[in-house]
Amino acid sequence: MSNFTTPPPTPEHALLSFPASYVLLVTLNRPRGLNCINSQGHVDLHEVWEWMDEEPSVRVGIITGTGRAFCAGADLKEWNNRTTTKKRTEMPTSGFGGLARRKGKKPVIAAVNGLCFGGGSEMIINSDLVIASSRAVFGLPEVKRGVVAQAGALPRLVRTVGKQRAMEMALTGRNILPEEAERWGLVNEVVDVKDLSEEEGNKVVVSRAAVVAGLIAGNSPDAVLVTREGIKLGWEGIGADEATGMLSETWMRRLNEGENIKEGLKAFVEKRAPVWKDSKL
């Protein structure tokens, strides 16, 4: 892909690629540090997701990691230095990895290839779908280090898996295997990679995420954005009537004035595949 309205960012510790039409792949690339994210990494990833939301030719994002980890959380060495020197570093408003408190409009799929701890788990909790390798391991081990998962995961986790499971995960800090995470509803799908090498397994998980991303990207870009917003309103704890009213008064009005709803209905009547326009919502 090269028809961008603005050039993509160049993050220091992540690789950007485009595995399918309208799909952005962000690969965390600090394998020796298990893809832990430092202060600059948060800023860089915030800029990546901001760019994706504003770039019409990108409709879905995927995030994954290089090596045996998806993301093992914060850079604890840097965190220790900040604690010792009392030097404050501001986190972007979107939180850990630009995802933990992201308010963006386009969907992000987490392709969890391996270890997913702390901030890594916070990122996937706020992702829209999660495809996990059978080698993935999840956890919120912050309590074991005297810190707290403060990037937005705790109140959102309880809405995803329920109070008792959220308490178990966050208070014990124990590891959660992918099959258990799938039963809990934290993971959409587990991809079996036990007979593959690490590199091959990672590729298979990303490929599966790209297939799902392609299904989303093939739908009306306007309808995807508005549908996602409606689900998010309910997930954030707004009542059904209030959320429906908010969606109707804001997003639905804009969707109904756009070209894609007209194209989708016309294509149905004419019994052909719709040709979508880039979203202007």
Supply the residues annotated as catalytic: 74, 119, 122, 142
Residues 247/154/25/75 CA torsion (nearest 10 deg):
150
Residues 77 and 96: their CA atoms lie apart, in Å, by 16
SS3 (DSSP) at 237? coil
Sheet holding 108-112, edge to edge: 14-20, 23-28, 60-65, 108-112, 129-133, 189-191
Residues 238 and 19: their CA atoms lie apart, in Å, by 36
- What kind and span of H or E run contains 189? strand 189-191
Tell me the chain's radius of gyration from C-alpha atoms: 19
Query: Residue 180 burial by CB count (10 A; 0-12/13-18/19+): exposed, middle or buried?
Result: middle
